[in-house]
Structure 1
Amino acid sequence: MYTSKNKRVNQMLNLFLSSKDLITIPELEKQLSISRRSVYYSIEKMNQFLDEKGFDKVINVKNLGFYLNQETISALEKSKRFNNEKNEEFFNFSGKQRIETIIWLLINREKVSLTLIETKFDVSRNTADKDFKKISCILKDYQLSLSKNSGGHTINGPEIQKRNWIYEQFSKGNPILFSLLAKRVKSVQNINPLLKEFERMTGNFFTDDAFICLSAYLDWYIDRIQNPVNRLENTNVIPSNLIALEWAQKFLFKNHVVNLGEASYLINTIHSSQFDKANKEYGGIQEILPIAKKIIFRFNRIAGVNLRLDSLQVNLSTHLLATYYRIKYGISYKHPDLDLIKQKYEQLFSFTKFSVRPFEEFVKKDIPDDELALIALYFGGEIKAIEAENLKKQKNDVMIVCSSGIGTSRILKQQLEDRFPEVAFSKPYNTLSYENSSLEDIKLIVSTIKIKNRKGINVLKVSAIPGKQDWKNIESALKKEGLVKTKNPKMNIEGLLDI
């Protein structure tokens, strides 16, 4: 049966379950060795507990006593045990994990009370109350809100926004939500053939991460729309993509749902997931290919690089197809490492923001920073591949970095090679190339601008035209890295005679 974390409530529950007759207040006082006042207090707590579990409260027959109806007794006895040992999986949750779980509970049940949070997570009422205040702030970003009554907290707002929160968590690979679905592995696996069918019908193939995310999300989604209250409004508007519509209607029909509104939602959700390979003949991709070409040209121009158009155009278009659907239908994406990318690849992010303007004109909306971070990684990956190939060919010991990679930096390279012919210096790199290079075999970085240290490799800042002190610092740094040897002074006969 279910048990409460409150020891007294558990004792009282056992008494009611084992008793065949009504139980009076004096009997409860005697059995539990507590005062009359404590008996009433414990009955109130037990009623709260039963209400949270969806069971009927204790029935009071005036002047005769208290009892539980047979339906509640049967339900309690048949239910799986919900004791403290089972709940321990939630006891060590961090504050963030606890809040994510509470939002999940709010979306998936009618009410969540402070008592339930205290019991489930072994926290104080004050902590539970603070959690709800934080949750209220989080939900504002999703156009959702909390309301409170005697039974607990409920979540209010559009059904689409509730789904968006769940989908976003799965797309981030949130371990908390995946663990909550752990007992439904078989039902999740049942989704896989349906997704494979979509790939076969459309020629679009999901990335591994997208496939896992969709399997989990659609399993939750099917369960949710079994309740007609959670379904979107039906519509007579037929989606333009007939192949996707055929698949969506089959998917829903297998789960006993016929609803064009839900079919449209399902199509948009599927398209917003990332494809590894997209069919060029499939709807949408042909419009995006020329836009991707413009973006690459703009990036090459502002970054001073020469990214290959052939493969990058197709890959970028495939990515932008999913971005288009996410932006168009308000399916938010939160990049887990956004701040790190902005900090570590500052120039890459800035150049990307400039380059995607043609796509923003196409969708008629600004691209959120989280989406920009994903696009920036495409450019970064391409630059990294090119620079890794260059470094492998050159096998350099020292990398030269400057603001643009041209001009005075080439003079600097010539001077360095003249003074230290035994050291292999790289071609001049600009900041963007430096941010995205692998730094394989590089032992020292000589830069004319202030740059961030990477991989623990020393960075020596010098003037574009080095002075006397700069040359001393360069020689010292090269010696420290073992790139030049300390030379013993040779005997000078003329000097000796002068002495």
Structure 2
Amino acid sequence: MELSEIKHGEAIIDLLLEPKTYVSFIKFQEVLHISRRTFFYTLKKLNAYLDEHDLDMVQNMKGIGYYLPDDTKQVLVQQTKKNTPKLAVFPQKERHILIMLSLINNERVSLELTQKRFHITHHTAVSDLKMTKQLARKYHLAIESKPTGTTITGTERNQRNWFLSALSDHGALINSVLEIDPHQALKITELLHNLEALTGNYFSDDALSILITFFSWYLNRLTDPDKQLQPSNSDAINPTATIEKWAGTVLSKYHIQNIAEQLFITYLVKSGQFIHINTNDTLAHSMTPIVKQIIKRFNDVSGSQIAVDSLELPLLTHLLSTYYRVKYRVTFKQASLKSIQEQYSELIFFTRLALKPFENFVQQKLPEEEITLVAIYFGGVLRNESTNDATVNVVCSSGIGTSKILYEELHRRYPNIKFSSPMSVFKLKNSQLTNIKLIISTIQLKSSFKLPTIVVAPIPTESQWQQIDQELAHLKIIKRSTQAITVNNLMDIISDYTRIVDPTGLQNALTNLLAHDHNISTTPTNTNIGLKSLLPKENILIQDSAFPNWENAIRYAFNPLVANSSITEKYVDKIISSTQKYGPYMVIGNGVMLAHARPADGVKKIGMSLLVLGEPLTMYDANTHEDKLVKVIIGLAPIDAAEHVLALSQLVKMLQQPHWLSDIENATNSTMIYEKCFNITIK
């Protein structure tokens, strides 16, 4: 077999023969436009060709790239008949990185050399140098153009920070142009593995790859005394500390004794990203309760229900390196984080609020990049938790009140369908929607989820039930109503043969029968706090005179809960602002408004209040272009997403009884409401 007979073979060899040590797979892919499968297939043929000619095969340094052994390279160079080398083409951003790298490495840079190096026009070279100057300023570095060439000025620490950041974002590019000695890289890899064994903290693959390249560059750089950091009077080494001793050993192998550099290496490896940590470490032990606080705060402010156990160790592992990066001012910049910040602004906002205990611990405000990195963890858990076999998502603004009532109703009516647990809009945005076919929401969703969406009342009207039926049948989630055994079908059949005295009671009985038949619990809860416990007599109000507006009525309804310190005024403000934003979605039907917000909006303890309006008020619904009538306002103050579920379930049952609202409306005092209604209904 000849080399020319191997498709892409000569092109791969050409890249490996270029004056650089390593070539990454990404570089092969960009230049040759081939798939991973094609690359490895070609590489297998190339190695067979080299072995057939008694030459050492192509080698792979994990995390860095591919290279040819020196002997093989020399033989292939002699065999090469090409007169001109293949021209490398670099995109604009890559040119800026390479120009910066040349300047930091003290290589000569000028307009003329930049034109020749990248085969670009004079105008493009001028533009590249201008953009590179802007890039340098982000790292507190300055680029100066002089007749003799272009130079970079700035502290050695800032130059190293740029190199570290560039490795995070453009590692493959930098590895392709740096002349790294493979033997030195192997020696550094061994030293880093020794450190992992000593500390019990193990680096992620990406972190290890970055450290190998950085140390290869850094240790060569230290051969120039001008590049070494100057020790200060405050620099001090703990001779018994494991990492400080290891750092001294690394430097001694290169005949360097410098306390400032020993501390720099210590800070560097401590701030590297870990995949596993020693939880018995003193710092890790002290940070564990802080991590638990962070997860709890995130749940509170976002309305999520992330289990502490599911995130505690991964978040602790990440924040351990974050602590050292912040403490030692090791800058983490990554261009890819900007798109995350733009796309998930709400997630990052909640993460920022949740991280306050950690900021207090490190006594510093975290940079946006660090907050974004933590947000990725929360977003990942939310997506994993949303991975289930549900086909329909149930949504409201908070995932606490109205959607739970709707969830109960949907479960009772469609026992065969798998609905998601009630979720907030925020959780919906951060959920996987792979298996979801339909979204049923109590509020109008402003974001487009590219899925059919139905907006209904928490207790849907008959026309809304028909809309849900039609959409479920259209999406083939259920069979057509003429083919399926449903509550409505059974009601129709029964009405053909007998007069139904109590339609509501029969409908509830049939619904419960079907739900029981399919072993589906309509009230999945582990709490026994019922409506009677949450709604004492002193929390029941009657107002005969009319309120000037609905905002005043809501404030009045929550007066008992404010007075007994169950909530703050901020909680009521949030309910009003949510209603102004989303409309009267809390009006759950039959003239009842279930006013509520998230626990984090100002709930101190669980509670409920009830206001009967002598003069009903109206709230305009922009979605239906109709006024919604409100006769009763029920104020709910939940402390989490589960504690009040039994009370809500009992409330739904009461609302379904025809006499309940009429009894409430005809009552003249709170005692009548309490005794006449609750004592009868709640057992």
The superposition leaves residues 468-488 of structure 1 with CA deviations (integer Å, 9 ceiling, x where unpaired) of 765555344323311234456
Partner of 1:365: 364
- Work out whether 1:275 is the aligned partner of 2:269: no
Q: Does 1:153 align with 2:150?
A: yes
Looking at structure 1, the residues matched to 157 and 420 of structure 2 have their Cα atoms a distance apart, in angstroms, of 53
Question: How far, CA to CA, are the matches of 1:302 and 1:451 in structure 2?
Answer: 20
Q: Once structures 1 and 2 are overlaid, which stretch shifts more, 104-113 or 444-453?
A: 444-453
Mark the CA change 1:190 to 1:338 in structure 2 (over 3 Å): closer, same or farther. Answer: same
Q: Does 1:228 align with 2:222?
A: no
* Residues 126-145 of structure 1 mapped to structure 2, 5 A cutoff: 126-145=123-142
Counterpart of 2:298 in structure 1 is: 299
- Look up the SS of the partner of 2:263 in the other structure: helix
Q: Match for 2:397 among 381, 403, 412?
A: 403
Q: Alpha-carbon deviations, 1:342-367, whole Å to 9, x = none?
A: 35444332221101001112222221
- 2:238 aligned with 1:244: no
Residue-by-residue CA offset, 1:291-313 (whole Å, 9 max, x unaligned) = 22221222232233443334633
What SS does the corresponding residue of 1:256 show, helix, strand or coil? Answer: coil
Alignment partner of 1:348 is 2:342:
no
Aligned to 1:428: 422
Cα distance in 1, alignment partners of residues 86 and 325 from structure 2? 37
Take 1:465 and 1:153, find their aligned partners in 2: how far apart are those partners? Answer: 71
Matches within 5 A, 1:46-57: none
What is the letter of the counterpart of residue 410 of structure 2? L
| Preserved CA contact (<8 Å) 1:159 1:232 | yes
Aligned CA distance change for structure 1 residues 250 and 442 (closer, same or farther; 3 Å): same
- The match for 2:106 among 101, 106, 109 is 109
Q: How big is each residue's C-alpha offset from its partner over 1:358-399, in whole Å with a ceiling of 9 and x where there is no partner? A: 1112222221221112111222333334443xx2xxx32211
Letter of the 1:480 partner, please give it. Answer: H
Between stretches 322-331 and 220-229, larger displacement belongs to 322-331
Q: 2 CA distance for matches of 1:343 and 1:478?
A: 35
For 2:373, the equivalent position in structure 1 comes to: 374
Which of the numbers 425, 435, 438 marks the counterpart of 2:432? 438
Aligned 8 A contact 2:171 2:210 in 1: no
Partner in structure 2 of residue 55 of structure 1 = none
One-letter amino acid of the structure 1 residue matched with residue 341 of structure 2: K
Q: Do the aligned residues in 2 keep the contact of 1:349 with 1:376 (CA within 8 Å)?
A: yes
Cα separation, 1, equivalents of 2:126 and 2:86: 20
In structure 2, distance between residues paired with 1:334 and 1:453: 31
- Report the alpha carbon displacement of residue 421 of structure 1 after superposing the two structures with TM: 5.0
Q: In the superposition, relative to structure 1, how do residues 109 and 339 fare at CA in structure 2: closer, same or farther (>3 Å)? A: closer
Specify the code of the residue in structure 1 equivalent to 2:206. D
Q: Which position in structure 1 is the counterpart of 2:312?
A: 313
Greater mean deviation of Cα atoms: 309-318 or 238-247: 309-318
| Stretches of structure 1 lacking an aligned partner (at least 5 in a row) | 1-80
Equivalent residue letter for 1:239: I
Give the fraction of aligned pairs with identical amino acids, expressed as a percent.
34
Partner of 1:334: 333
Report if aligned partners of 2:231, 2:260 keep a CA contact under 8 Å in 1: yes
Conserved 8 A contact 1:192-1:215: yes
Give 1:452-491 correspondences, 5 Å limit.
452-453=447-448, 457-464=451-458, 466=460, 470-471=464-465, 473-487=467-481
- Compare 364-373 and 149-158 and name the one that shifted more: 364-373
SS at match of 1:172: helix
Letter of the structure 1 residue corresponding to residue 303 of structure 2:
G
**Structure 2, gaps ≥5 residues long:** 1-79, 484-488, 497-683
Report the 3-state secondary structure (helix = DSSP H, G, I; strand = E; otherwise coil) of the residue aligned with 1:276: strand
Counterpart CA distance in 2 for 1:186 and 1:471 is: 72
With 148-157 and 456-465 compared, the bigger mean Cα shift is at 456-465
Does the CA contact (< 8 Å) of 1:400 and 1:445 recur in 2? yes
- Cα 1:87/1:118, change in 2 over 3 Å: farther
Matching residue of 1:121: 118
The offset of 1:187, in angstroms, is: 2.9
Residue 329 of structure 2 aligns to a residue whose secondary structure is coil
What is the one-letter code of the residue matched to 2:382? I
Over 3 Å counting, the alpha-carbon distance change for 1:125 and 1:468 in structure 2 is farther
Alpha-carbon displacement from aligned partner over 1:10-38 (angstroms, at most 9, x marks no partner): xxxxxxxxxxxxxxxxxxxxxxxxxxxxx
| SS of 1:321 mapped into structure 2 | helix
Greater shift, 177-186 or 285-294, is seen at 177-186
Task: Report the CA distance between 1:249 and its aligned residue.
Answer: 0.7
CA contact (8 A) 2:359 2:365 kept: yes
User: Aligned in 2, Cα 1:119/1:470: closer, same or farther, shift over 3 Å?
Assistant: farther
Deviation at 1:445, TM superposition (A): 1.8
| 1:123 aligned partner, one-letter code | I
Match of 2:641 in 1: none
Give the Cα–Cα distance (whole angstroms) in 2 for the partners of residues 87 and 151 of structure 1: 30
Distance 1:157 1:131, change over 3 A: same
Q: Distance in 1 between matches of 2:142 and 2:433?
A: 49
Mapped partners of 1:359, 1:107: distance in 2: 35
Q: Is the CA contact 1:111–1:151 (under 8 Å) kept in the aligned structure 2?
A: no
Q: CA RMSD in A?
A: 3.0
2:197 is matched with which residue?
A: 200
Is the counterpart of residue 94 in structure 1 residue 91 in structure 2? yes
TM-superposition CA deviations, 1:173-231 (whole Å, max 9, x none): 53211212376444323210010111122121111111111111111111111111111
The Cα shift of 1:315 comes to: 2.6
CA distance in 2, matches of 1:134, 1:466: 58
Q: Which amino acid aligns with 1:366?
A: K
Equivalent residue number for residue 257 of structure 2: 258
CA distance 1:403–1:346, change in 2 (3 Å): farther
CA distance in 2: counterparts of 1:118 and 1:365, whole angstroms: 45
With over 3 angstroms needed to count, the CA separation of the structure-2 counterparts of 1:311 and 1:243, relative to structure 1, is farther
- How far did residue 338 of structure 1 move? 2.7
For residue 66 of structure 1, what is the aligned residue in structure 2? none
Q: Does residue 413 in structure 1 map to residue 411 in structure 2?
A: no
Q: Secondary structure at the match of 2:351?
A: helix
CA 1:461 to 1:133, structure 2 compared with 1: closer, same or farther past 3 Å? farther
1:429 positional shift:
1.4
Contact kept in structure 1, 2:473 and 2:481, CA below 8 Å: no
- Tell me the CA shift for residue 467 of structure 1: 5.4
Distance 1:156 1:467 in 2: 71
Could you tell me how far 1:283 is from its partner in structure 2?
5.2
Instruction: Classify the secondary structure of the residue corresponding to 2:139.
Output: coil
Q: Which moved more, 1:479-488 or 1:261-270?
A: 479-488
* Structure 1 residues 95 and 469: alpha-carbon distance in aligned structure 2, compared to 1, 3 A threshold: farther
User: Which residue identity does 2:417 align to in structure 1?
Assistant: V
Could you tell me how far apart the structure 2 residues matched to 1:387 and 1:312 are? 15
Report the Cα distance in structure 1 between the residues aligned to 2:210 and 2:111, rounded to whole angstroms. Answer: 31
Q: CA deviation at 1:286?
A: 3.2
Q: Which residue of 1 aligns with 2:25?
A: none
